[in-house]
Structure 1
Amino acid sequence: MTWDSLALSVLRTALLSALKVESRVVSSARTFAVIYGFCLERVVTALEKRKHPHQLESYSKLTQSHNSSQKRKCPASPPAGTSKQLKLDMSSSKRVSKVNINKAVMKFVVEGLQPFSVVDLQAFKDLIQDLQPNATIMSRPTLRSSIAEATKSMKKKLIAAMSEVEYIATTTDCWTTRRRSFIGITAHWLDPDSLDRHSVALACRQLKGSHTFEVLAAALNDIHAEYQIRDKIVRTTTDNGSNFLKAFRIYGDQDENNNATYTEELSNSGEGDDDEEEIQEEEEVVNYQEVASMLDIGDGFEYHLPKHQRCACHLLNLVSTVDALKANSNEAYKKVSRATFSKCQALWNKSARSALAAETIQDACKLQLIRPNATRWNSMFLAVERLVRIVKEQGEGAIRDVCTSLKIPMLNPTELAFLTEYSAIMSPMAKAIDILQAETNIQMGWLLPTLTQLKAKLDRIKPSLKYSKPLVDAIQLGLKNRFSEILEDPELIAAAILLPKFKTLWTKDETVLKKGLDYINLEMEPLHPLSNLHATSSDDDDFFSSIKSNSQESSKELEGYLGCCADHTSLLKTFPSICKLSIRLNTPLPASAACERLFSTAGLLFSPRRARMDSSNFENQLLLKLNRSFYNFE
C-alpha cells in the first residue's frame, strides 16, 4: 500500500470518527486536504480521546518519513491586514556608469540645442540625482571639451565616408545675424549602390571683414581642403550674389577671364611681329619684379574652386518678383495691380499689427491671413492664394465684413478677379520652386524638365486671362533672360536624359535633345573598358580601331537605355556606363536650399540669449546636431 493511500485511509477514519460526517463528504482528495488543513488539531485530539494508538502511531511514522525525504518550500503567507502586492527592491538595481551619464547629457544638449549652462542648473542636477543617486554631473568646461572631441570624431568618420565616394556636390551661402556673419557649406552625394542621396553639413564658419570674392574663395578652398574633397566636387550651387559669381568666375574651373585677358594683352601689345633677332636681343635683358606685386594681380591660381551652379530657386524668385514688376509698363495692368495690392497690403498690415483685427478675421473668414515676406520664396503667392481661398470658401461677404470692421477699402469684383488670375499664374512658379528646392529626391536632371513644363503651363494659361496677360509676358521674358544659358547647357540636358523618369520625353525640341545625346556619347565610358587591352591583328593595322569599338558599345548601351519602358531609378543599374555618368551629372543640386535649412537650424541655436557664444562652440554643436548619423552618443 502506498503512502498516499495509507495516510488517506488513516486520516479519513480519524476525521469520520471526530466530525461524524458521512464518508462522501471527504471522498475526494481535494476536499480531504481542505478539511485536513483546518481540522488537524481536532483530528489529533480526537485520536487521543478515542484512544486509537495504533492509527496515531502509524500516521506519525508515515508523515515523519515523508517530510524527511521530500520537503516542499512554500512561500510564507503575508501578515494579516497587509497588501499582497510585491514591492520592487531598488537597492539591487544596475547603476549607470559616469561615462554613460556624460554621453546622455551631451546628447541632450546637442540634439535639444540646449545651452552649455544647463549642466549648472540646480534643477537639472536634481533631475539626474533623482534618476541616479550619487551621480556626478560633468561641468560646463568638460561638456564644452567633450563636444569638441565628439566633433573631431564625427569629422573623421565623415571624411572616411566621403573618401569612398567619387563625386560630391556642395551648396554654400552667407548668413548674418546678431552682428556676426557666417558662411555655411553642405555636401551631397549619391550612393553608387542604392542611388540614394546623402547630405551632410560641412561648416558654418564665421567670416570677418568684408565679404569680398577673395574672402569667400579662401574660406571655400580651406573647407574643401579640410575635408579632402577638392578634387571630387563636381559643382557648387550658390545664390546670385555678385561676390560669389566673381569668386567662381576667377577661381573656378571655367577659367574664362584669365585666358581671354591674356590673349587680349598679347594682341594689343603689337610685339607679335618682331623678327627672331629682335626677340633674341630682348631675351638678354632680365627684368626683376617683386613676387608680391605679381600675386596681387589675381591670376586665378591662388585658390581652386569647382564648377559653379546658380541657384534655380533664387532665379525663379527673382523672376516672380523683380521681373514681374516690368508688367507695370502696361498702363491698364499697372492701374488694377496697384489698386488691388494697396488694399491687400492694408489688410495684411492690420492683421499683423492688431490682435483685435486678427480675431475679427478669424471669426469672419475661419482662417488667418498670410503676410508676404520679401526674404521668403513664394510668400506673395501664398498670401494672395489665402485671400482667394477665403473668397471661394466663405464668399465675398466674409472679406466685405472684415474690410468694413477694420475700415479698409473693399476689394471690388475686378480686383478679386485680378487676384484669382494672379494666383493662377504664380501657382506653376511656386510649384516649380517647391520641386527644385527639395533635397532628398531631387537631382540636377530635374531642372530643365521643370523649366520646360513651367513655360508650357504659362502658355496654356495666357489665352484665358483678362487682366494679367502683361504679367505672363514679363515672366516669360524673365525666364528667357535668366535661364537662356542653362537651357542650352549640354551637361544639364544630358543630366535630364539620364534620369529614367524623363529620358527624352520632357521636350520635343530635337535640337536640344541632340546636344544632350552628343554629350552623352562623348562622355560615356565604354561598357567594357578593358576589352581594348587584348589587341588583335586588325587593331595593329588600324590605329583608330579602339575608337570605333568604344563608340559602338556606347551607342548600343544608350539605345538600350532609351528603349526601356521602365521609369524607376533602379533601371540605371542595368547599364553600368549610363549609371556612372548619370551619378556624376545628377549629384549636384539645382538649388542652394540645403544651406538655407542649415541656417534655419543655426538660428534656433544662436538665439538672442546666446549671442555671446563662441563661434567654434557654435559650429561644433551645430555640426553634431545636423550630422548625428555620423556620431553615436550611445
Structure 2
Amino acid sequence: MKIKDFSVSCRQVTQSTVDRLVVDFVCESLQPFTIVELPTFKNLICTMQPSCTVMSRPTVKLRIEEAAAKIKKNIIAEMAKVNYIGTTTDCWTARQRSYIGVTAHWIDEPTLERRSASIAFRRLKGSHTFDLLAGTLVDIHSEYGISEKIVRTTTDSGSNFIKAFRVYGEQSQQELIDAEADSAEAVTLDDENDAEGFEVQDTSSIFNANSGLEYHLPKHQRCACHLLNLVATVDASKAEDSSEVFKKLSRSTFAKCQALYNKTSRSAISAEIVQEECKLQFIQPNHTRWNSVYNAAERVMRILKEQGEASLRNVCAAFKIKMLNPAEVSYLSEYCIVMKPVSMALNILQSETNTQMGWLLPTIYLLDSKLKKMEASVKVCLSLIHALQRGLQKRFGEFMEDPELISAAILLPKFKTSWTDKAHIIGAGMDYILHRLDAMKDTQENESQHVSDEDDFFSSIKTVSSTRASELDGYLACASEEMELLHSFPLVKKLSLKLNTPLPASAACERLFSCAGQLFTPRRARLDSTNFENQLIVKLNNKFKM
C-alpha cells in the first residue's frame, strides 16, 4: 500500500495498515523508503492518525526477516515438488562490498510454465577464489535442499567460476572418457616404473593434494549471452585485420558517431538541437553491453531514413562535427544489417520466462545460417561476417557437439529435428535420447516388476522396441509445436523437462543485481548484509508470499 492509497481516507488507517506500509515501502517500492526517513514518516502518520505509532528500526528489521523466512519456506515447498532445477549465479560489487547472487528456475510439470525465484544474495569476504565460490554455492544449495536436483548452473566465463566447476563440478561424458584415458596411460607408466624399481614419493604432497571431493557442484553451463557478446566485440574487431578498407571505414564512421553521442549527452542545449532537428535522441553506447552499440548505430540509421540526411547534417554543423560521407553511411547501413541477427539472438537467449536450454543450439545455427546468406549481398562488411562466423565456431563449437544440448532442442516441440540439416548432429541427439528413454523405461519396469518375473532373464528385450516406437517416434510424428504435446508422451516429457530446465544465459542473475542497485543506495551503504538479502528476497519473490 502507498501513501496515496490511504491518505484519502485517513480515518480508516489502523495500526496493522501502518506496520504493513512500512515493510512494503522498505522492500517493494521502486524508490525504496529508507529507514533513515522514519522520523519524517512518523510525523506524517501521527498527523493523519494520532492513535497510530510507527514501528522502530529494530522492529522493521524483524518484520522483514520474518517475511523473508516465510517466503524462503514457500520457495522450498515449491521446489520440493519438482525433480529438476536450474540455477544461475554471478558476483556483484558495490560500496566496497562483494556479493554472490543465485536464482533458481524450474518448469511446472502440470502447466509446463517456467517458474523462477531469487534464493540468495550473500556477502563474500576476501578474494573471490574458486574454492570460496564453490563452498558458498554448496551452502546455498543445501539450505534450500536442492543439491541433488540441480541439472546445470549457468555463469559467465569468469576464470574463478570455470575453475570451481572444473574442480568440484560434474564432468561431462567426454571429460570422463578423457579422464579414463589419462588414467589408463598413467597405469601403464606406473607398471613400467615398477619394472625398473620402486619410486620414493613424498607422503605430505598426497595428503595436501586437492581430491575434488570437498564440495559437489552440478554441471556447468557458460552464459550464451556473454559468449555472444564476446563474438560481437572481440571477435568482430578482428575483421579489421583482414581488410584495410573495412578498417578505415569502421574507425572513421564510429569516431564521428561517438562525437555525436558525446555532444548530446554532455549538454542540454545540444540535446534540444538534436530533438528539434531529428525528432529522436541519439543513444549513448554502454560498452559493458554490446547491444547498446548496435542500438546506437541503428538509431543513427533510423534518423537518416525517417528525417533525411539534411537533419543529421544540420546537427553536425551545429556541433562542428564532420558529417558522415556516402561511403560511411553505406558502411553503417551494412553494419546494422549484419549485426541485427546477432542482436536478435542476444535478446532471445537472455529471456527468462519463454526460453529453455533447447533454444540455444537452434538460435546459434540459425544465426550462422543468416550470416551465410548475407555473404552474397554485402560489399564492405564481408570480412565482418567471416569474423563473426569464426567467433561463433570458436565460442560455441563445443556446444554444437554436446549430445545433451542437441537432445534438449529435439525434445522441444517448437524445433524437433528441423533446426539443422546436419545428419550427424541430429543422429548424436537421437542416440542420446534413445539411450536415456530405454534407461528410464527399464527403471520404471524394475520398480513395478513382480517377484515372479525376476526369473525371466530376457524380459528387458520386450521393452526396447516399444520404447522407441511409442515414445520418440510418436512424438516426432506429431505436427503440433505446442508444449502441451509433451503431455501425451510421459517419458519424452520427463527427459525434456530435465534437459530444458536450465537457462542458456545468466541474465536473470544480472536482473537481481539491477534490483540490488536500487536498494543499495549511497544513503544505505551501512545496511547489514543479512538485512539486505532479506529485503531483496521479499522484493523479488512476491509470488511466493501466499
Instruction: Give the TM-score, by structure 1 length.
Output: 0.79
1:36-79 Cα deviation digits (max 9, x unpaired): xxxxxxxxxxxxxxxxxxxxxxxxxxxxxxxxxxxxxxxxxxxx
SS of the residue aligned with 2:52? coil
Aligned pairs, number: 529
Tell whether 2:157 aligns with 1:240. Answer: yes
Aligned to 2:39: 121
SS of the residue aligned with 1:415? helix
Tell whether 2:111 aligns with 1:194. Answer: yes
Q: Which of the numbers 518, 525, 529 marks the counterpart of 2:431?
A: 518
Q: Aligned partners of 2:28, 2:541: CA distance in 1, in Å?
A: 10
- Counterpart of 1:421 in structure 2: which amino acid? E
Tell whether 2:445 aligns with 1:533. Answer: no
Aligned to 1:581: 495
Q: CA deviation at 1:573?
A: 0.4
Q: Which of the numbers 57, 63, 78 marks the counterpart of 1:161?
A: 78
- Counterpart of 1:387 in structure 2: which amino acid? V
- Counterpart of 1:574 in structure 2: which amino acid? S
1:293-314 Cα deviation digits (max 9, x unpaired): 6564222111111000010011
Q: Aligned partners of 2:345, 2:431: CA distance in 1, in Å?
A: 28
Q: Which of the numbers 139, 142, 150 marks the counterpart of 1:225?
A: 142
Q: CA deviation at 1:501?
A: 0.8
Aligned to 2:88: 171
Residues 444 and 586, structure 1, Cα contact 8 Å, conserved in 2: yes
Distance 1:115 1:466, change over 3 A: same
Q: Aligned partners of 1:366, 1:614: CA distance in 2, in Å?
A: 46
Distance 1:360 1:526, change over 3 A: same
Tell whether 2:504 aligns with 1:590. Answer: yes
Distance 1:492 1:105, change over 3 A: same
Distance 1:99 1:260, change over 3 A: farther
Tell whether 2:513 aligns with 1:599. Answer: yes
Distance 1:264 1:196, change over 3 A: same
Percentage of matched positions with identical amino acids: 54
Aligned to 1:549: 463
Aligned to 2:405: 492
Residues 119 and 137, structure 1, Cα contact 8 Å, conserved in 2: no
Q: CA deviation at 1:550?
A: 3.3
SS of the residue aligned with 2:421? coil
Distance 1:369 1:135, change over 3 A: same
Q: Aligned partners of 1:249, 1:528: CA distance in 2, in Å?
A: 30
Q: CA deviation at 1:288?
A: 9.6
Residues 116 and 140, structure 1, Cα contact 8 Å, conserved in 2: no
Q: CA deviation at 1:341?
A: 1.2
Q: Aligned partners of 2:289, 2:208: CA distance in 1, in Å?
A: 39
Aligned to 2:475: 561
Q: CA deviation at 1:370?
A: 0.6
SS of the residue aligned with 1:226? helix
Q: Aligned partners of 2:316, 2:181: CA distance in 1, in Å?
A: 61
Distance 1:269 1:540, change over 3 A: closer
Q: Aligned partners of 1:118, 1:150: CA distance in 2, in Å?
A: 21
Aligned to 1:304: 216
Structure 1: gaps spanning 5 or more residues: 1-89
1:566-610 Cα deviation digits (max 9, x unpaired): 111111001111111110010000000000000000000011221
Q: Aligned partners of 1:417, 1:259: CA distance in 2, in Å?
A: 55
- Counterpart of 1:167 in structure 2: which amino acid? Y
Q: How does 1:325-474 map to 2 (within 5 A)?
A: 325-329=237-241, 330-474=243-387
Distance 1:119 1:371, change over 3 A: closer
Aligned to 1:482: 395
Residues 184 and 599, structure 1, Cα contact 8 Å, conserved in 2: yes
1:350-396 Cα deviation digits (max 9, x unpaired): 11222222111111111100111111241110010000000000111
Q: Which of the numbers 87, 90, 97 marks the counterpart of 1:180?
A: 97
For CA contacts below 8 A with separation 6 or more, give which structure has more relative contact order.
Answer: 2
Aligned to 2:3: none
Residues 421 and 465, structure 1, Cα contact 8 Å, conserved in 2: yes
Residues 168 and 188, structure 1, Cα contact 8 Å, conserved in 2: yes
Instruction: Give the TM-score, by structure 2 length.
Output: 0.91
Q: CA deviation at 1:151?
A: 1.5
Q: Aligned partners of 1:95, 1:412: CA distance in 2, in Å?
A: 66
- Counterpart of 2:291 in structure 1: which amino acid? N
Q: CA deviation at 1:331?
A: 1.2
Pairwise CA RMSD: 2.6
SS of the residue aligned with 2:69? helix
Structure of larger gyration radius:
1
